[in-house]
């Protein structure tokens, strides 16, 4: 529930309201809504809501109808902006995250990192641990891959987004990464949700391939309930009867999530389509629909990629995509991160 306090409420009255809520076992959250003093309370209360309305200093009590409380706009009307170094996700600028599906070797990661930075990406993605459908497929390089990603960050300044698959991996991955990604298969891995919630690190939570929007938001609620508000939601396509594409991009999910939650929304057109030819069009559609960011797979030799080559863009195609997405962003009153100057590009090329 949301408790709005009266104007001129005393500190003693405020403290009493908070104390009673904590006695009820509620999580108490401060809410910013301008001049009003507003308290958000999450949890089941034994008392009738009318009891709280009668407390000294209380103006009104508003029940929160959503099963997800902390991620709801009812509880937090303002957009959450997740800060990752100098990059803000959820603010006025649209961010592009790019890199290989899987880290294969040092040269591959370094080459791609320089390419995507020159094109306009502000974060580098890459999988060191890879959950694969077949046990015989490439499973990733593990910590060796994390070290290559960290080296690429040192060389380019790009923050790292990489997947964590199990609770026990969180401390290791957190040593190297800037953002912990939870993949589609782990959206409802509750032990992992607890672990990343307690880590306090930025989290990119991907929607399960057969999960509803409400289930995605309830998974995010687990993370926030453990004290971590630095969560970004990722629409990456859902499994439907359609077989022409790998998944079906639920473009509806973008405006729906922006309406229901204050958390940033990122779209993964690579996994949504499974075909590089479709990534450009779906990226533009996602930005037009209101996405705060894109996460795109890029590989210099997709035909030789050890994972998801069919959906990976070559660097020159990725650069074209960024320019076209930038035009769409500007058409709807938003911007991408600025294009690096020619001088900076020459310097990057000389060090790659």
Q: Is the sign of the CA dihedral 342, 344, 349, 350 positive or negative?
A: positive
| pLDDT surpassing 60 at residue 158 | yes
- Look at phi and psi of residue 108 and say left if phi exceeds 0, alpha if psi is from -120 to 50, else beta: alpha
Q: Where are the domains of the chain?
A: 2-62, 82-351
On average, the pLDDT of the chain sits at 91
Integer Cα distance of 30 and 194 in angstroms = 22
Calpha distance 225→15 (Å, rounded)? 22
- pLDDT at res. 351: 44
Q: Does the structure show a pLDDT above 60 at 233?
A: yes
The count of other CB atoms within 10 Å of the CB of residue 25 is: 12
The tens digit of pLDDT for each residue in 206-223 reads: 999 999 999 999 999 999
Strand partners, 204: 181, 232
What pLDDT is stored for residue 352 in this prediction?
A: 39
Q: What is the mean pLDDT of residues 279-307?
A: 96
pLDDT of the residue at 33: 59
The pLDDT of residue 31 is 72
DSSP string, 136-147: TS----THHHHH
Q: How many residues are listed for the chain in this entry?
A: 352
Q: Domain 2-62 falls in which CATH fold?
A: Alpha-Beta Plaits (3.30.70)
Instruction: Write down the pLDDT at residue 9.
Output: 87
Most confidently modeled range among 34-48, 204-218, 338-352: 204-218
The token pair at 23 is 């006695």
Determine the pLDDT at residue 264. Answer: 98
Tokens of 200: 């306090």
Name the residue with higher pLDDT: 42 or 265: 265
Burial of 151 per CB tally in 10 Å (0-12, 13-18, 19+): middle
In 200-252, which ranges are continuous DSSP H helix?
213-225
pLDDT reported for residue 136: 57
**Domain covering 82-351 in this structure, CATH number:** 3.20.20.70
Please state which of the ranges 122-131, 179-188, 213-222 shows the lowest mean pLDDT. Answer: 122-131
Per-residue pLDDT at 296 exceeds 90: yes
Q: State the pTM of this model.
A: 0.86
Nearest to 256 by CA among 211, 290, 279: 290
Q: Are strands 2-5 and 58-62 parallel, antiparallel or unpaired?
A: antiparallel
């Amino acid at each position: 529930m949301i408790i709005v306090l009266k104007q001129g409420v005393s500190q003693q009255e405020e403290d009493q309201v908070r104390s009673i809520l904590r006695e009820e076992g509620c999580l108490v959250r401060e809410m910013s809504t301008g001049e009003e003093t507003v308290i958000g309370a999450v949890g089941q209360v034994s008392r009738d809501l009318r009891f709280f309305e009668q407390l000294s200093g209380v103006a009104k009590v508003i029940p929160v109808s959503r099963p997800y409380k902390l991620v709801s706009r009812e509880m937090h009307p303002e957009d959450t902006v997740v800060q990752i170094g100098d990059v803000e996700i959820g603010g006025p600028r649209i961010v592009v995250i790019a890199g290989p599906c899987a880290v294969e070797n040092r040269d591959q990661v370094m080459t791609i990192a320089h390419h995507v930075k020159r094109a306009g990406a502000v974060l580098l993605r890459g999988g060191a641990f890879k959950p694969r459908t077949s046990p015989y497929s490439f499973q990733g390089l593990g910590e060796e891959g994390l070290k290559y990603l960290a080296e690429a960050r040192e060389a380019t300044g790009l923050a790292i987004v990489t997947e964590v698959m199990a609770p026990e991996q969180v401390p290791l991955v957190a040593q190297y990464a800037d953002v912990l990604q939870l993949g589609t298969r782990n959206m409802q891995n509750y032990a992992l949700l607890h672990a990343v919630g307690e880590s306090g690190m930025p989290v990119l939570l991907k929607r399960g391939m057969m999960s509803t929007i409400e289930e995605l938001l309830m998974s995010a609620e687990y993370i926030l309930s453990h004290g971590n508000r630095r969560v970004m939601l990722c629409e990456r396509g859902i499994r439907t009867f359609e077989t022409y594409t790998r998944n079906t991009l639920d473009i509806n999910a973008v405006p729906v999530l922006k309406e229901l939650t204050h958390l940033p929304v990122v779209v993964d057109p690579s996994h949504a389509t499974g075909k590089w030819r479709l990534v450009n069009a779906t990226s533009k559609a996602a930005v037009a629909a209101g996405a705060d960011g894109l996460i795109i797979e890029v590989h210099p030799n997709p035909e030789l990629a050890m994972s998801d080559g069919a959906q990976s863009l070559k660097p020159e195609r990725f650069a074209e995509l960024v320019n076209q997405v930038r035009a769409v962003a500007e058409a709807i009153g938003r911007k991408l991160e600025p294009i690096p100057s020619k001088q900076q590009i020459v310097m990057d090329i000389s060090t790659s």
